[in-house]
Structure 1
Amino acid sequence: MERQQDYVFWKAVHHYIFEKGCRVIEQSRNEVWLEEEDTHPKRIIRFVRVDIDFSIWLRRDITESVKQFERIRRHFRFRRLIGENIYISEYPPVDEWEDIKKPFFESKRKRTTVTSKIIDRANQSALSLPSVPLQGQIQDLDLNLTIEHLKQQINHVTREREQKEKSLFFYGKPLTTLGLLAVLSYMFYQLEQAGGSTSVLTLIEYGAKYNPLIMEGEWWRLITAMFLHIGFLHLFMNSLALFYLGGAVERMYGTTRFLFIYFVAGLFGSIASFAFNEQVAAGASGAIFGCFGALLYFGTVYKKLFFRTMGKSLLTILAINLVFGFSIPMVDNGAHIGGLVGGFLAAMVVQLPKHRKVPKQLLSLVVTIFLMGGLYLFGLNNEQKTRSPLLELQIGQEYLQQDNLEAAYPFLQRAVEEGADMPEAYFLLAYAEAMFENYEFAKELLIKTIEERPSFHEAHYNLSLVYIELEQIEEARSSLKRAIELHPDEAYLDLYERVKEEN
């Protein structure tokens, strides 16, 4: 009679897979774990074919199974999990076992709840299975053949589903992703050779996003900025993200679709940066966030598969990146969000392989073009984002470091005029004015610098030099004396000795 219960076991598993749409999580000779995909909270069913003698084994097995159900809940990050043990046995335990029918909980928070029941020869109808042979019919059935047929059907549909799901993640090969990584590395090398990847002037020269020049017609910077990076850490982090995210998107969408997503997202991110951020910007971050967007679109098409595989981890990483972007002023979150939206829309335009929805694709293309055009026009008319006093100051300082006073002067002047209310701005402009022999104006600027920061010893020293040029020797001595008190530099002491001897 044991074969009858074997038949009940495999018939039950077959019924739950083919009639209720359950998915096989794990399968062995006498144990099958199934997931009901459309239930909230999530429901997992464990079928066990075992002949139970004593309830002590049953209690021990239930206790262990509760831990396994909890591990499944944590692995798939289900908020709650309802688990059920269904034991197919010839007879119930010979001793008392009714207490096992009560629910078991993994913790006080009761996020994992497990119930158990025994299906023996006397209560097979509890499973509500069609065509379960009665005891009087058992001799008329070739159960061995029937059981093998059920197993084959179960194995076939399980393999078929696994292969179909696997094919969604491995449509293409990430060769273009590797090519993009090589291009990014090569451009970083060029920047370092030309003057440094952290030099604003070098970045602008090589095509970084710089709003004033874009306003003058250099729109191509919105594209070239995608291939430049500011510092090795910036390159390393983006390359790492591109390797994993870009590789995943290229495998899922194929090379042609991936390139479209990458460039549309990168361009969308650059335009968003142009519209909302006045700083010089560069990097593949917008395109990389576009890969996030493409994966999110995959999640809207295959929602169950998405959350069973990468979904919750992807959303967590995305949320961390966005929070980080809003928390750190230097991060261009406009480019990140723009790239995310652009990548999602681009994925809607190209669709997944073997998905063809022309009306939806055309509508998505129109929306994408409309949003990109609207952002670009907003950027052209957003005068507040045209220039940044701090950026003007940084560019002016770099020109001074190159001894290009003529080029530095207008940037330093605009930095002060446009509100860079900081001692460094006044100090550098004062230096430029002194070099142009505008000593009175230089004096005023240095005095303002010292008012803003009394401990700025370089400003005291430069002010003494200006006083000497203006032949105000007593004031020069006083400024030098203060500079020496703050910082007894040898140059300050030498000049003080020379000035002290003058009348």
Structure 2
Amino acid sequence: MNVMRHDLYFWQVVHHLVVEEGYRVLDMEQSEVWLESDALKDRTVIRIKRIDVDWGNQLRADFEQVRKKMLWLKRQLGVRRLRGEAIYVTMYPPVDDWSSFEAEEKLDRNGNVTLRPTLIVAEESERKATIAAVNERLSIHLPHVALLDEDGYQMEQMARYLRQQIRHTANATQQKERRLFQYGKPYATYGLLVVIAFMYVLLEMNGGSTDMPTLIEFGAKYNPAIADGEWWRLLSSMFLHIGILHFMMNSLALFYLGGTVERIYGTSRFFIIYFIAGLAGSIASFALNAHVSAGASGAIFGCFGALLYFGTVHKKLFFRTMGSSVLLILVFNLAFGFIIPMIDNGAHIGGLIGGFLASAVVHLPNHRPRLRQLGFLLLTVLALIGSFAFGFVNEHKAGADLLALQNAQDLIEAEDIEAAYEVLLESVEQGNERAEAYFLLSYTEAVLGKYEEAEEHLQKTIDLEPKMHEAHYNLALVYDELDERQKALESAQEAVQLDPGNEKYDTFLRSLEE
């Protein structure tokens, strides 16, 4: 087999792997091609090179570069295990000893990346044995020989034709994959951003986006109102944001995530996914979290869910493009939500699940409808109804303690002391062990003339927060009302010691001392 015939054989092997075996071209040069397949148990990359060498160290030097690229490819492809084949199509083996070069190597400590070199030489019996071993190892059927009847010119023309066919197949595969990300235009995403911006400005002009009464008035998620029948808040809260940072962060996330999802799924499908995810997030928040809340976070996490569903349909493409980044950002945001108490992680997780289920219902464009879509639709409806029903019976919602304090403070500011007293007393009886709860309760009791109860709850406050100077001062006032002057003096002295320079405390202490 002469050199030109061996050149042709090199392109016949590559053509067979790409066209017949379905390998994807990662990189292609004049005498070197990198191919990929995920059809086997372990993700497989084949690097095939046409090379003629005299000495084994020339192969080892080249093989060292292949090692480095294999480790880089593992990170890029986002896979746990990667198997590599370095196939050298060469006329003759090196003249020195190269037998130690034929064994499979483990490129990392755990053996998750392996690489095996193979030489396909011109000598017929050795070539056939090598090809048979490769075929068995990779479950493929490489051709054995190039056609023997052509002259040099014909072989060159055939090699050129094979290269063109390989490039055409590779380009067609890339275009097909690219179309998956370019189905739609992000018109709905831009429209949602405009509505969200408009609502933020409207809130700022009517009391502020951080003012709780204003947020509740404009449709924030407020559990008591939802329980009373204002179910529309589950959707309206998606368009409100609390503060400039919340608004900017969610707008930025929606711009990138929403735009990506809408390009993949198309506008109508994206619209359905977004609102089902947002609704699921709001219902999960209603079921698990008592805080007043607002924001598009549930719907945005639904976009994560839509991308994860895309990954289940096109797993290889997902991890080759954006999969690792999506998973990393998602895990970081969920972990951040568990660390920061004020973040409504219930809405995030609910939106994530809702987005995944909604994506399974509408499925991807250009895919035939399947019966399982009806199953996912039924599952989605049952999940939404079940979560909403659970919200009415769950008496241990996260943030219930803080919500009671917030409601009580609003009532105190409105001078509705009786109502604030009832809210705080019920909260404490249900297990609210916050020092602030006992402090506010004692305040309402003192205003209502319940001094004995106020003394008891101020003592409880100080037990929980010994350095709360306000509690010591209020306790001094209560003791004064109970004519226990010595105790009043001691409490007033403690308040002054904890907050020196407080004119109000100093004045009251002097009055007791006189």
TM-score (norm 2): 0.88
Letter in 2 for 1:112: V
- Per the TM alignment, residue 456 of structure 1 is displaced from its structure 2 partner at its CA by 2.8
For residues 143 and 320 of structure 1, the distance between their equivalents in structure 2, rounded to whole angstroms, comes to 56
For residues 189 and 444 of structure 1, the distance between their equivalents in structure 2, rounded to whole angstroms, comes to 46
Q: What do residues 73-118 of structure 1 show as CA deviations (whole Å, max 9, x unaligned)? A: 2221332322222222233334443332233443444333222222
Give secondary structure in 2 for the equivalent of 1:82: strand
Relative distance call for 1:242 and 1:333 in structure 2 (3 A) is: same
- Per the TM alignment, residue 119 of structure 1 is displaced from its structure 2 partner at its CA by 2.3
Q: What do residues 354-390 of structure 1 show as CA deviations (whole Å, max 9, x unaligned)? A: 1231533333223222221122122223344499233
Where in structure 2 are the equivalents of 1:250-265 lying within 5 Å? 250-265=262-277
Letter in 1 for 2:219: G
For residues 273 and 198 of structure 2, the distance between their equivalents in structure 1, rounded to whole angstroms, comes to 22
Relative distance call for 1:340 and 1:455 in structure 2 (3 A) is: closer
1:13 matched to 2:14: yes
1:241 matched to 2:242: no
1:497 matched to 2:510: yes
1:412 to 390, 404, 424: 424
- Per the TM alignment, residue 469 of structure 1 is displaced from its structure 2 partner at its CA by 4.8
Indicate conservation of the 8 Å contact 1:11/1:150, yes or no. Answer: yes
For residues 18 and 87 of structure 2, the distance between their equivalents in structure 1, rounded to whole angstroms, comes to 15
- Per the TM alignment, residue 38 of structure 1 is displaced from its structure 2 partner at its CA by 0.9
- 368-377 or 426-435, which moves further after superposition? 426-435
Where in structure 2 are the equivalents of 1:167-316 lying within 5 Å? 167-316=179-328
For residues 131 and 146 of structure 1, the distance between their equivalents in structure 2, rounded to whole angstroms, comes to 17
Letter in 2 for 1:2: V
Which residue does 1:90 correspond to in 2? 91
Where in structure 2 are the equivalents of 1:147-186 lying within 5 Å? 147-186=159-198
- Per the TM alignment, residue 426 of structure 1 is displaced from its structure 2 partner at its CA by 2.6
- 261-270 or 430-439, which moves further after superposition? 430-439
Letter in 2 for 1:38: A
- Per the TM alignment, residue 485 of structure 1 is displaced from its structure 2 partner at its CA by 3.0
Indicate conservation of the 8 Å contact 2:289/2:399, yes or no. Answer: no
Where in structure 2 are the equivalents of 1:362-381 lying within 5 Å? 362-381=374-393
- 32-41 or 471-480, which moves further after superposition? 471-480
- Per the TM alignment, residue 193 of structure 1 is displaced from its structure 2 partner at its CA by 4.5
For residues 99 and 257 of structure 1, the distance between their equivalents in structure 2, rounded to whole angstroms, comes to 57
Which residue does 1:429 correspond to in 2? 441
For residues 104 and 161 of structure 2, the distance between their equivalents in structure 1, rounded to whole angstroms, comes to 35
- 468-477 or 105-114, which moves further after superposition? 468-477
For residues 166 and 278 of structure 1, the distance between their equivalents in structure 2, rounded to whole angstroms, comes to 44
Letter in 1 for 2:511: R
Q: What do residues 325-361 of structure 1 show as CA deviations (whole Å, max 9, x unaligned)? A: 4444433332222212211111122111112315333
For residues 58 and 452 of structure 1, the distance between their equivalents in structure 2, rounded to whole angstroms, comes to 74
> Which 5+ residue runs of structure 2 have no aligned equivalent?
132-140
Relative distance call for 1:27 and 1:188 in structure 2 (3 A) is: same
TM-score (norm 1): 0.90
- Per the TM alignment, residue 12 of structure 1 is displaced from its structure 2 partner at its CA by 0.5
Give secondary structure in 1 for the equivalent of 2:262: helix
For residues 388 and 282 of structure 1, the distance between their equivalents in structure 2, rounded to whole angstroms, comes to 16
Which residue does 1:30 correspond to in 2? 31
Give secondary structure in 1 for the equivalent of 2:293: coil
Q: What do residues 108-151 of structure 1 show as CA deviations (whole Å, max 9, x unaligned)? A: 4433322222223224544464483465x343982122122211
For residues 319 and 180 of structure 2, the distance between their equivalents in structure 1, rounded to whole angstroms, comes to 14
Give secondary structure in 1 for the equivalent of 2:327: helix
> Which 5+ residue runs of structure 1 have no aligned equivalent?
none
- Per the TM alignment, residue 437 of structure 1 is displaced from its structure 2 partner at its CA by 4.8
Indicate conservation of the 8 Å contact 1:200/1:395, yes or no. Answer: no
RMSD of the TM alignment (CA)? 2.8
Give secondary structure in 2 for the equivalent of 1:312: helix
Q: How many residues align?
A: 500
- Per the TM alignment, residue 467 of structure 1 is displaced from its structure 2 partner at its CA by 4.5
- 475-484 or 49-58, which moves further after superposition? 475-484
Letter in 2 for 1:429: L
Relative distance call for 1:323 and 1:484 in structure 2 (3 A) is: closer
Q: What do residues 423-448 of structure 1 show as CA deviations (whole Å, max 9, x unaligned)? A: 32232233334444555554444344
Q: What do residues 288-314 of structure 1 show as CA deviations (whole Å, max 9, x unaligned)? A: 221111112112222222232223333
Indicate conservation of the 8 Å contact 2:4/2:152, yes or no. Answer: no
For residues 398 and 382 of structure 1, the distance between their equivalents in structure 2, rounded to whole angstroms, comes to 24
For residues 112 and 371 of structure 1, the distance between their equivalents in structure 2, rounded to whole angstroms, comes to 42
Which residue does 2:138 correspond to in 1? none
Letter in 2 for 1:289: F
Letter in 2 for 1:255: T
1:49 matched to 2:50: yes
- 120-129 or 242-251, which moves further after superposition? 120-129
Give secondary structure in 1 for the equivalent of 2:467: coil
Indicate conservation of the 8 Å contact 1:66/1:104, yes or no. Answer: no
1:460 matched to 2:472: yes
Letter in 2 for 1:416: V
Identity among equivalent pairs (%): 50
- 228-237 or 302-311, which moves further after superposition? 228-237
Indicate conservation of the 8 Å contact 1:212/1:386, yes or no. Answer: no
Q: What do residues 209-267 of structure 1 show as CA deviations (whole Å, max 9, x unaligned)? A: 22111110011111122222334443344333323322211110011111110110110
For residues 37 and 448 of structure 1, the distance between their equivalents in structure 2, rounded to whole angstroms, comes to 65
For residues 173 and 2 of structure 1, the distance between their equivalents in structure 2, rounded to whole angstroms, comes to 52
Letter in 1 for 2:169: V
For residues 484 and 292 of structure 2, the distance between their equivalents in structure 1, rounded to whole angstroms, comes to 42
For residues 462 and 25 of structure 2, the distance between their equivalents in structure 1, rounded to whole angstroms, comes to 75
Which residue does 1:76 correspond to in 2? 77
For residues 447 and 92 of structure 1, the distance between their equivalents in structure 2, rounded to whole angstroms, comes to 90
Relative distance call for 1:383 and 1:425 in structure 2 (3 A) is: closer
Which residue does 2:68 correspond to in 1? 67
Give secondary structure in 1 for the equivalent of 2:88: strand
For residues 419 and 254 of structure 2, the distance between their equivalents in structure 1, rounded to whole angstroms, comes to 38
